[in-house]
Structures are given as structure tokens and as C-alpha cells.
Amino acid sequence: MGLNIPDILNRLHINDINDAFSTGNLWASSANATIKNIHSPVDGKKIAAVKMAVAGDYNRAVEQAAKAFPAWRQIPSPKRGEIVREIGDALRVKKEYLGRLVSYEMGKSLQEGLGEVQEMIDIADFAVGLSRQLYGLTMQSERPQHRMYEQYHPMGIVGIISAFNFPVAVWSWNAMLAWVCGDVCVWKPSEKTPLTAIACQHIVQEIFKKHNIDEGVSCLVIGGRDIGEMMANDTRIPLVSATGSTRMGKAVGTAVAARLGKSLLELGGNNAIIITENADLDMALVGALFGAVGTAGQRCTSTRRLIIHESVYEQFKQKLVSAYGQIRIGDPLDENNHMGPLIDHDAVNLYLDSIEKCKAEGGKFVVDGGKLEGEKYASGCYVKPCVAEVENHYNIVQHETFAPILYLVKYKTLDEAIVLQNGVPQGLSSSIMTGNLREAEQFLSSAGSDCGIAGVNIGTSGAEIGGAFGGEKDTGGGRESGSDAWKVYMRRQTNTINYSKTLPLAQGIKFDL
């Protein structure tokens, strides 16, 4: 399939690519809405102009969601699951087109764009099965002829704030689970990648319309930071799921907590791979390379640090330098290329600034970075992936830079390596490369990695949907996707039924009249 953007947009029901959009409950209808031009980081070309929502648009979306909730929650969960199954099937049909749009709008490789849509399909399948497994527990009562059990009920409106780097997959982690749980959703995608969100909204609404489901079950609001702030402070929204920077997450978490709401935060990562003297260095190289340059280093799970045993440090460094020399950078829709552009010029400037800060602190670059010039890189968003030898305590190393900068740190003992691995504010993903069982078990023990995700002989990037996804410390503590992450989208209720002819009190308390 060639890259014919007007055809792709048309097949995804995004038609007037040169005009502002305003489609029903999608987001904006106000006459005073501002217009944002959307340009691809791949070639710098304008894809579309999009209306940005204002407060009135946001409120209409929330009101529509609130109106849809009572009927949606009354549909049996397995029936809701059947509707989600059809959404997954519709995504299968549109996978090629949506995957290409993800790659073109965001800049990730075509394989990663298609993989992101596959992730949506996978979470839909997971949610279908989950729709018959929203289990509670039965407990034993201390009172005779009493039955105790717990059950889970829908919460209401789930607000979803997603980031540009996974413009559709992370939304689907939240929305698919929320829907089978009986919730309705209001989605604020990144204003940098609105077209993929619009495409998903059209796909979902076609299925809902087929089943005469109120379109308010899935609302989309394209807007800026002000819309996110409204959502965080909105008492009508009991749960806000936010993905993005730690700075953003702290603001959202503070606002939601102030009104005693619930937040699910999936924030920054500063992920490391420990490479021991017992590692398969060729395997470690593959994991480190994809983790560092995949999505141009713009994943929250991207590999930022390699903590390498001193006995294999120089050998592995040379392997890494050689491999970096073979990385092909260019149009991400060309499957011969390994790495595409950063999302925009601001990201490029942050990358360049981080390189200078690293040098100022004493970092020694073994693979130089810089901005790429020339007709092939005309969008101005292409950079070189680079590698620096550093100390773990450097200020720049302690921060997450959303760019392909990889830091090398040397260690002597595994205890030291684990301290280095844990010695950053973030706690998302981690890995150890080793053929030694004792080293692997120590890394996974309570005295090992402090991250929400820890792997052995795999990279830090590329989680499966079956496991709960998220991290600790400045990563926010939230869990999305698989395992029992569904429970965050529901309210827990403990029930006690007295089927006796008396009213005994707990703890043997007597209250006789």
C-alpha cells in the first residue's frame, strides 16, 4: 500500500483535510474556537486544520457522557463485551490505514504504527474475555445466617488524557476496559496527534450506532492544556487516567486528589538495562538498541541507561558503537529505516539542550548526536541517536529526556548495579541481561529492581497487554492494561445479607432494649 494520505483519511472517514473539523460530539462547534494546523514530522507537510475545543465544548461532551451512562451500565457486561469485540474487528479491517496514519502523524516507524493498532485489537480481545470475569469474593461472616460478599459497579465517566507517543493504544487500554466495566469515556488526546484520535472515534461510533448505543459512551474533546485542567478539576468525572510527563501528572494528581477523586497516572520513565558479565552480549545489544532508538527514544519505556559490568564494558561499548553506525534514519514509512523523526521542533531543541547539559557535567560522547540536515530531513525533526559515558548522579541523567540519548554507566558488583538502577526518581521499566539464575532472582527479589516492570533477558521497551502496565515513584503508581487493572475503573462494594430472624451485631456487641 502506498502512502496516499488523502485516501487514507477518506477511508478513515476524515474527509475535509484542509478545513476545520466539527462533527457532532467529537469535540468543537463553538464559533470562537481556535484553529490548529497539524503538520507531519515526517515531511513537514500540513495534514489538516483542526478546531480546538473551548469550555462550552468540553461541558457538552461531559453532559452527553453523563446522559449516556445510566443506559450503558444497565447493559449486561457480556453484551458490552460483544460490542467491544465488534470494535476490535473493525480495527482489524482498518489496521493498515490507521497504522499508516499513526506513523505519518506521530513519526514512529510503520512497523510500530501497525503494532500500535494491533495492541488496540489485543486489548479489545482481552476486554471481551474480561466482560465475563468481573469477579468479586465471598467472605465468611462471623454472624450466623449471614452472607458476605463483594461486587464491583461502574464508576461513571472516565476521563482519559493520552500522550502523543502512543496516540491511540493507551487510550484503548483505558477505554476498552472502562466500557466492559460499564463506564463511559471522555477522551482528550494530545493536541499534537488529533487525527488518529478522530479516526478511532469514527470507528467506534459506527459500531455504537449500529447497536443504537448513545454516542456519549465515547466522547472526544480535541483541545489544549486548559481542557486537561478542566477534566482534572471536574467533580462529574470520578476517575481521570492521565499519561504524560511527571510534571503534568503531579498537576493532574493534585487537582483530582483535592476533590477526592481517583487518578490513574502513567508518567515518565528513566529505564535501565543491567548487563552483567554473564550476559549474552549479542542478545543484550538487540534489546539495548531497540529500547534506545525505537520510536526515536520517545517511549516512556525507552532505554535511557545501560549499567554495564566493568569486565565487559569496553567490549560491549565497541559493539554498541558499531551497531549505531548501521542505524538508518529517515522516513518511518520506509521499512528499510530504523528510526524516524522526533515529534516536533520543540522536541529537537530539548534533545540538543540535553546533549549540551550532558557535556557540561562531564559526559563523554562515544557516538555523537546532532540535528540532521538536507532535503531528506526537510521537516527539521530528524536527529542522530547518540551515546554518552556518564555518572549516574549527573543531573541530566536523573531526568527523562524524550529523545534517543543513551547513557553508559560502569559497575563492579550486582549490588552496586541495582543501587544505580534504582537511583533515579522514576520507576517504570527495568531489565537485566544475564545467564546466571542467582543474578536474575536477585534482580527480581524485593531487594532488586524498584520498578513496576522488571524483566530478565528482554529489553525495557515493548510490554504485552496481558500484564498490568505502570510504575512506581515519579512514574505515578498507576496500572493499566492487563491483569486486574480493570478494578481501578470500578467501585468496590461489600454486601452483607441477613437471612435469619434476628439481628445479631458484629463483634458480639449486645444492644438489648
User: Which residues are part of the catalytic machinery?
Assistant: 266, 300
Asked whether the beta carbons of 83 and 207 are under 8 A apart, the reply is yes
Q: Distance between CA atoms of 465 and 481, rounded to whole angstroms?
A: 6
Set of cell numbers at residue 278: 554473564
Q: Which helix (H) or strand (E) holds 218?
A: strand 218-220
**Alpha-carbon torsion, ordered 99, 104, 108, 113, to 10 deg:** 0
Q: Distance between CA atoms of 437 and 494, rounded to whole angstroms?
A: 43
Q: Distance between CA atoms of 431 and 484, rounded to whole angstroms?
A: 23
Q: Distance between CA atoms of 384 and 367, rounded to whole angstroms?
A: 9
Q: Distance between CA atoms of 15 and 82, rounded to whole angstroms?
A: 29
Q: Is 417 helix (H, G, I), strand (E, B) or coil?
A: helix
Q: Distance between CA atoms of 200 and 192, rounded to whole angstroms?
A: 16
List, in sequence order, every beta strand (DSSP E) within 52-105.
none
Q: Distance between CA atoms of 395 and 392, rounded to whole angstroms?
A: 8
Local structure of residue 413 (DSSP, 8 states) = S
Asked whether the beta carbons of 430 and 395 are under 8 A apart, the reply is no
Q: Cell 459497579 maps to which residue?
A: 153
Pairing of strands 271-275, 429-433: parallel
Asked whether the beta carbons of 453 and 463 are under 8 A apart, the reply is yes
The CA distances from residue 275 to 5, 288, 306, 431, 493, in Å, are: 43, 10, 7, 9, 46
The CA distances from residue 261 to 109, 257, 434, in Å, are: 37, 6, 43
Q: Distance between CA atoms of 419 and 435, rounded to whole angstroms?
A: 20
Q: How many CA atoms lie within 13 A of 55 on its CB side?
A: 4
Positive/negative CA dihedral, 14, 19, 22, 28: positive
Which residues have C-beta within 8 Å of that of residue 22, sequence separation ≥ 6? 28, 29, 51
DSSP code per residue over 111-134: HHHHHHHHHHHHHHHHHHHHTT--
Q: Distance between CA atoms of 387 and 446, rounded to whole angstroms?
A: 31
Asked whether the beta carbons of 406 and 317 are under 8 A apart, the reply is no
Q: Distance between CA atoms of 508 and 513, rounded to whole angstroms?
A: 16
The Cβ of residue 504 has, within 10 Å, a number of other Cβ atoms equal to: 15
